[in-house]
Amino acid sequence: MTSWLFLAPVLFIHLLVVAVPSLSSLALCFTDWNGFGKINFVGFENFIELFDDRVFKKAVTHNLIWTGLFLTVPIALALLAAFLLTGVRRFQMFYRFVFFFPYILASIVNCLIWKYLFHPIHGLAAFFRDIGWESLATSPLTTKETSLYAVAFVDGWHFWGFLVVIYITAMYQVEESLYEAADIEGASKWQKFRYVTFPSIRPMFLFSFLIIIIWSVPAFDYVYILTSGGPAYSSEVVANFMYFEAFRNMNVGYASAVGALMFVYVFTILGFFWTLRKLGWEI
Protein backbone atom coordinates (compact mmCIF):
# COMPACT_ATOMS: atom_id res chain seq x y z
CA MET A 1 0.00 0.00 0.00
CA THR A 2 2.73 2.48 0.95
CA SER A 3 4.49 1.53 -2.25
CA TRP A 4 1.56 3.06 -4.15
CA LEU A 5 1.70 6.23 -2.06
CA PHE A 6 5.27 6.76 -3.19
CA LEU A 7 4.28 6.19 -6.80
CA ALA A 8 1.17 8.33 -6.76
CA PRO A 9 2.65 11.83 -7.27
CA VAL A 10 4.64 10.93 -10.38
CA LEU A 11 1.75 8.96 -11.80
CA PHE A 12 -0.59 11.87 -11.12
CA ILE A 13 1.41 14.50 -12.99
CA HIS A 14 2.24 12.10 -15.79
CA LEU A 15 -1.41 11.15 -16.21
CA LEU A 16 -2.39 14.82 -16.17
CA VAL A 17 0.24 15.99 -18.65
CA VAL A 18 0.55 13.01 -20.98
CA ALA A 19 -2.12 10.33 -20.59
CA VAL A 20 -5.30 12.38 -20.24
CA PRO A 21 -4.49 14.78 -23.11
CA SER A 22 -3.36 11.86 -25.28
CA LEU A 23 -6.60 10.02 -24.71
CA SER A 24 -8.59 13.21 -25.35
CA SER A 25 -6.75 13.63 -28.60
CA LEU A 26 -7.59 10.08 -29.60
CA ALA A 27 -11.24 10.91 -28.91
CA LEU A 28 -11.22 14.40 -30.44
CA CYS A 29 -9.84 13.16 -33.74
CA PHE A 30 -13.35 11.93 -34.54
CA THR A 31 -14.86 15.39 -34.03
CA ASP A 32 -14.82 18.77 -35.75
CA TRP A 33 -14.10 20.77 -32.58
CA ASN A 34 -12.41 24.15 -32.98
CA GLY A 35 -11.36 24.72 -29.36
CA PHE A 36 -14.55 26.35 -28.09
CA GLY A 37 -18.09 25.94 -29.43
CA LYS A 38 -19.97 22.69 -29.84
CA ILE A 39 -18.30 19.32 -30.35
CA ASN A 40 -19.77 17.32 -33.22
CA PHE A 41 -18.93 13.69 -33.88
CA VAL A 42 -17.88 13.32 -37.50
CA GLY A 43 -16.58 9.77 -37.64
CA PHE A 44 -13.59 9.27 -39.91
CA GLU A 45 -14.15 12.49 -41.84
CA ASN A 46 -10.92 14.10 -40.57
CA PHE A 47 -8.91 11.14 -41.76
CA ILE A 48 -10.62 11.08 -45.15
CA GLU A 49 -9.90 14.78 -45.49
CA LEU A 50 -6.27 14.26 -44.41
CA PHE A 51 -5.60 11.59 -46.99
CA ASP A 52 -6.86 14.06 -49.55
CA ASP A 53 -4.79 16.97 -48.21
CA ARG A 54 -2.03 17.81 -50.66
CA VAL A 55 0.15 19.45 -47.99
CA PHE A 56 -0.27 16.58 -45.56
CA LYS A 57 0.73 14.05 -48.20
CA LYS A 58 3.77 16.17 -48.97
CA ALA A 59 4.64 16.31 -45.28
CA VAL A 60 4.37 12.53 -44.92
CA THR A 61 6.65 12.03 -47.93
CA HIS A 62 9.14 14.44 -46.42
CA ASN A 63 9.07 12.59 -43.11
CA LEU A 64 9.83 9.34 -44.92
CA ILE A 65 12.73 10.99 -46.79
CA TRP A 66 13.87 12.45 -43.47
CA THR A 67 13.85 9.01 -41.82
CA GLY A 68 15.71 7.54 -44.77
CA LEU A 69 18.35 10.25 -44.62
CA PHE A 70 18.89 9.80 -40.91
CA LEU A 71 19.07 6.03 -41.21
CA THR A 72 21.93 6.31 -43.68
CA VAL A 73 24.14 9.39 -43.43
CA PRO A 74 24.53 9.88 -39.64
CA ILE A 75 24.73 6.12 -39.05
CA ALA A 76 27.45 5.66 -41.66
CA LEU A 77 29.42 8.65 -40.40
CA ALA A 78 29.07 7.57 -36.79
CA LEU A 79 30.13 3.99 -37.50
CA LEU A 80 33.17 5.29 -39.35
CA ALA A 81 34.11 7.77 -36.62
CA ALA A 82 33.56 5.30 -33.79
CA PHE A 83 35.58 2.60 -35.54
CA LEU A 84 38.44 5.01 -36.28
CA LEU A 85 38.30 6.26 -32.69
CA THR A 86 38.89 2.79 -31.31
CA GLY A 87 42.15 2.78 -33.29
CA VAL A 88 43.61 5.93 -31.72
CA ARG A 89 44.85 6.58 -28.21
CA ARG A 90 45.91 10.20 -28.43
CA PHE A 91 43.24 12.87 -28.53
CA GLN A 92 40.52 10.25 -28.26
CA MET A 93 38.77 12.13 -25.46
CA PHE A 94 39.13 15.35 -27.43
CA TYR A 95 37.40 13.89 -30.49
CA ARG A 96 34.67 12.36 -28.37
CA PHE A 97 34.10 15.70 -26.70
CA VAL A 98 33.89 17.54 -30.01
CA PHE A 99 31.58 15.03 -31.70
CA PHE A 100 29.17 15.02 -28.80
CA PHE A 101 29.23 18.76 -28.18
CA PRO A 102 26.53 19.90 -30.67
CA TYR A 103 24.18 17.33 -29.13
CA ILE A 104 24.08 19.31 -25.88
CA LEU A 105 23.48 22.64 -27.63
CA ALA A 106 19.92 23.93 -27.85
CA SER A 107 18.12 23.44 -31.16
CA ILE A 108 17.69 27.22 -31.43
CA VAL A 109 21.45 27.81 -31.06
CA ASN A 110 22.33 25.16 -33.66
CA CYS A 111 19.75 26.62 -36.01
CA LEU A 112 21.12 30.13 -35.61
CA ILE A 113 24.66 28.93 -36.38
CA TRP A 114 23.47 27.43 -39.65
CA LYS A 115 20.91 30.09 -40.46
CA TYR A 116 23.82 32.49 -40.64
CA LEU A 117 26.04 30.17 -42.67
CA PHE A 118 23.17 29.32 -45.04
CA HIS A 119 21.99 32.94 -45.29
CA PRO A 120 21.37 34.18 -48.88
CA ILE A 121 23.53 37.29 -48.31
CA HIS A 122 25.74 36.53 -45.30
CA GLY A 123 27.76 33.52 -44.27
CA LEU A 124 28.93 30.99 -46.82
CA ALA A 125 27.14 32.79 -49.67
CA ALA A 126 29.15 35.97 -48.97
CA PHE A 127 32.31 33.90 -48.79
CA PHE A 128 31.67 32.15 -52.10
CA ARG A 129 30.81 35.46 -53.76
CA ASP A 130 34.10 36.94 -52.51
CA ILE A 131 36.16 34.16 -54.03
CA GLY A 132 34.15 34.30 -57.23
CA TRP A 133 32.08 31.09 -57.01
CA GLU A 134 28.82 32.85 -57.79
CA SER A 135 26.97 29.60 -58.51
CA LEU A 136 27.42 28.45 -54.91
CA ALA A 137 26.38 31.78 -53.44
CA THR A 138 22.79 30.76 -52.75
CA SER A 139 20.90 29.74 -49.66
CA PRO A 140 20.01 26.05 -49.51
CA LEU A 141 17.31 26.92 -46.97
CA THR A 142 15.36 29.19 -49.28
CA THR A 143 15.69 27.07 -52.42
CA LYS A 144 12.76 24.73 -52.97
CA GLU A 145 14.85 21.83 -54.22
CA THR A 146 17.22 21.79 -51.26
CA SER A 147 15.37 23.20 -48.25
CA LEU A 148 14.37 19.83 -46.78
CA TYR A 149 17.89 18.46 -47.13
CA ALA A 150 19.42 21.60 -45.67
CA VAL A 151 17.20 21.36 -42.59
CA ALA A 152 17.93 17.64 -42.23
CA PHE A 153 21.62 18.42 -42.57
CA VAL A 154 21.53 20.86 -39.65
CA ASP A 155 19.58 18.42 -37.48
CA GLY A 156 21.92 15.59 -38.49
CA TRP A 157 24.97 17.74 -37.80
CA HIS A 158 23.83 18.10 -34.21
CA PHE A 159 22.71 14.48 -33.83
CA TRP A 160 25.33 12.18 -35.32
CA GLY A 161 27.82 12.59 -32.43
CA PHE A 162 25.27 10.94 -30.18
CA LEU A 163 25.49 7.83 -32.33
CA VAL A 164 29.29 7.93 -32.19
CA VAL A 165 29.16 7.70 -28.41
CA ILE A 166 26.71 4.83 -28.23
CA TYR A 167 28.56 2.90 -30.94
CA ILE A 168 31.96 3.37 -29.36
CA THR A 169 30.62 2.21 -26.00
CA ALA A 170 29.45 -0.98 -27.70
CA MET A 171 32.70 -1.36 -29.63
CA TYR A 172 34.75 -1.30 -26.46
CA GLN A 173 32.77 -4.24 -25.17
CA VAL A 174 34.00 -6.40 -28.04
CA GLU A 175 36.46 -9.06 -26.86
CA GLU A 176 40.04 -8.01 -27.58
CA SER A 177 40.92 -11.63 -28.40
CA LEU A 178 38.68 -11.52 -31.47
CA TYR A 179 40.76 -8.70 -32.93
CA GLU A 180 43.96 -10.51 -32.06
CA ALA A 181 42.70 -13.58 -33.86
CA ALA A 182 41.81 -11.42 -36.87
CA ASP A 183 45.29 -9.87 -36.80
CA ILE A 184 46.88 -13.31 -36.86
CA GLU A 185 44.73 -14.21 -39.85
CA GLY A 186 45.98 -11.04 -41.53
CA ALA A 187 42.58 -9.37 -41.76
CA SER A 188 42.39 -5.88 -43.26
CA LYS A 189 40.80 -2.97 -41.44
CA TRP A 190 37.58 -3.36 -43.41
CA GLN A 191 37.49 -7.12 -42.78
CA LYS A 192 37.95 -6.54 -39.08
CA PHE A 193 35.09 -4.06 -39.12
CA ARG A 194 32.86 -6.28 -41.23
CA TYR A 195 33.45 -9.59 -39.47
CA VAL A 196 34.34 -8.65 -35.88
CA THR A 197 33.17 -5.17 -34.94
CA PHE A 198 29.87 -4.98 -36.74
CA PRO A 199 28.39 -8.33 -35.64
CA SER A 200 29.35 -7.54 -32.05
CA ILE A 201 27.61 -4.19 -31.96
CA ARG A 202 24.54 -5.36 -33.86
CA PRO A 203 22.15 -5.02 -30.89
CA MET A 204 23.21 -1.40 -30.39
CA PHE A 205 23.03 -0.81 -34.10
CA LEU A 206 19.45 -2.05 -34.27
CA PHE A 207 18.59 0.02 -31.22
CA SER A 208 19.87 3.13 -32.97
CA PHE A 209 17.79 2.17 -36.01
CA LEU A 210 14.70 2.00 -33.84
CA ILE A 211 15.24 5.32 -32.07
CA ILE A 212 15.96 7.09 -35.34
CA ILE A 213 12.72 5.82 -36.86
CA ILE A 214 10.79 6.87 -33.77
CA TRP A 215 12.52 10.22 -33.24
CA SER A 216 12.05 11.19 -36.90
CA VAL A 217 8.30 11.19 -36.50
CA PRO A 218 7.96 14.21 -34.18
CA ALA A 219 10.91 16.12 -35.74
CA PHE A 220 9.87 19.72 -35.28
CA ASP A 221 12.34 22.27 -33.84
CA TYR A 222 14.75 22.43 -36.76
CA VAL A 223 12.03 22.69 -39.39
CA TYR A 224 10.02 25.26 -37.47
CA ILE A 225 13.00 27.50 -36.70
CA LEU A 226 14.88 27.24 -39.98
CA THR A 227 12.18 27.29 -42.66
CA SER A 228 8.81 26.89 -40.98
CA GLY A 229 8.11 24.29 -43.65
CA GLY A 230 8.75 26.62 -46.58
CA PRO A 231 9.39 27.75 -49.20
CA ALA A 232 6.10 26.56 -50.71
CA TYR A 233 5.89 23.58 -48.32
CA SER A 234 9.14 22.20 -49.73
CA SER A 235 10.39 21.36 -46.23
CA GLU A 236 7.02 20.75 -44.56
CA VAL A 237 6.97 17.83 -42.12
CA VAL A 238 4.07 16.25 -40.27
CA ALA A 239 4.86 17.76 -36.87
CA ASN A 240 5.04 21.27 -38.31
CA PHE A 241 1.85 20.71 -40.30
CA MET A 242 0.10 19.57 -37.14
CA TYR A 243 1.42 22.55 -35.17
CA PHE A 244 0.00 25.07 -37.61
CA GLU A 245 -3.35 23.29 -37.85
CA ALA A 246 -3.48 23.26 -34.06
CA PHE A 247 -2.21 26.65 -32.95
CA ARG A 248 -2.78 28.86 -36.02
CA ASN A 249 -6.06 27.46 -37.23
CA MET A 250 -7.31 25.92 -33.98
CA ASN A 251 -8.59 22.90 -35.92
CA VAL A 252 -8.60 20.69 -32.84
CA GLY A 253 -10.25 17.71 -34.53
CA TYR A 254 -8.10 17.84 -37.63
CA ALA A 255 -4.85 18.35 -35.71
CA SER A 256 -5.78 15.53 -33.32
CA ALA A 257 -6.22 13.25 -36.29
CA VAL A 258 -2.65 14.02 -37.35
CA GLY A 259 -1.42 13.35 -33.81
CA ALA A 260 -3.37 10.09 -33.70
CA LEU A 261 -1.79 8.93 -36.95
CA MET A 262 1.69 9.74 -35.63
CA PHE A 263 0.90 7.77 -32.49
CA VAL A 264 -0.39 4.76 -34.43
CA TYR A 265 2.68 4.82 -36.66
CA VAL A 266 5.13 4.96 -33.74
CA PHE A 267 3.43 2.11 -31.94
CA THR A 268 3.21 0.00 -35.07
CA ILE A 269 6.98 0.34 -35.40
CA LEU A 270 7.49 -0.45 -31.72
CA GLY A 271 5.14 -3.42 -32.00
CA PHE A 272 7.04 -4.65 -35.04
CA PHE A 273 10.38 -4.55 -33.23
CA TRP A 274 8.85 -6.10 -30.15
CA THR A 275 7.42 -8.95 -32.23
CA LEU A 276 10.79 -9.57 -33.86
CA ARG A 277 12.31 -9.76 -30.42
CA LYS A 278 9.62 -12.21 -29.27
CA LEU A 279 10.36 -14.32 -32.34
CA GLY A 280 13.89 -14.69 -31.04
CA TRP A 281 15.68 -12.14 -33.18
CA GLU A 282 18.54 -10.60 -31.35
CA ILE A 283 17.35 -7.04 -31.01
Partner 1 sequence: MLFSQNKLKGALGNHVILMILALTIILPILILLFNSIKPDEEFGINPLGFPETVRLMNYYDAFMIGNYAKVMMNSLFLVTGTLIVCLSLSSMAAFSLAVLNPNGKATILIGIYLLVGLSIPAQLFILPLFIIWKNLHLNNTFIGLILIYSALNAPFAVFLIRSYMVQLPRELFEAAIVEGASTIQLFTKVALPLSWPVFLTTGLVVSLAVWNEFLFAVTFIHNEDFKPISSILFSFQNMRDENYALISAASIMMAAPLAVLFILFQRNFIAGLTSGGTKG
CB atoms within 10 A of CB 1: 4
Shortest reach from residue 246's CB to partner 1, in Å: 4
Strand (E) or helix (H) holding 84:
helix 54-86
* Residue 230 binds partner 1, judged by CB under 8 A: no
Q: Choose, by CB under 8 A, the member of 31, 115, 182, 196 that binds partner 1.
A: 115
CA 152, 157, 160: angle at the middle one, nearest 5?
Answer: 105
Applying CB under 8 A, does 223 fall inside the site for partner 1? no
- From the CB of residue 30, how many other CB atoms can be counted at a distance below 10 Å? 20
Residue 100 makes contact with partner 1 by CB under 8 A = yes
Which residue of 77, 174, 178, 187 would you call a contact of partner 1, by CB under 8 A? 77
Distance CA 260, CA 6 (A): 32
Region near partner 1 per CB under 8 A, out of 39-47, 63-71, 141-149, 260-268: 260-268
Figure out which of the listed residues 39, 75, 124, 187 binds partner 1, where binding follows CB under 8 A.
124
Q: Nearest distance from residue 64's CB to partner 1, in Å? A: 16
Cα gap 72→90, rounded to integer Å: 29
Report d(CA 129, CA 120) in Å as an integer: 11
Contact 119, 125 (CB under 8 A): yes
Angle, CA 76 vertex, CA 75 and CA 78 arms, to 5°? 65
Q: Does 70 bind partner 1 (CB under 8 A)?
A: no
The reply on whether position 190 binds partner 1 by CB under 8 A is no
Say whether residue 64 binds partner 1 (CB under 8 A).
Answer: no
- Confirm or reject binding of residue 57 to partner 1 (CB under 8 A): no
Considering the rule CB under 8 A, would residue 21 count as an interface residue with partner 1? yes
Task: Please tell me whether residue 42 binds partner 1 under the rule CB under 8 A.
Answer: no
CA distance 214 to 1: 36
- Which of residues 73, 75, 174, 225 is near partner 1 by CB under 8 A? 225
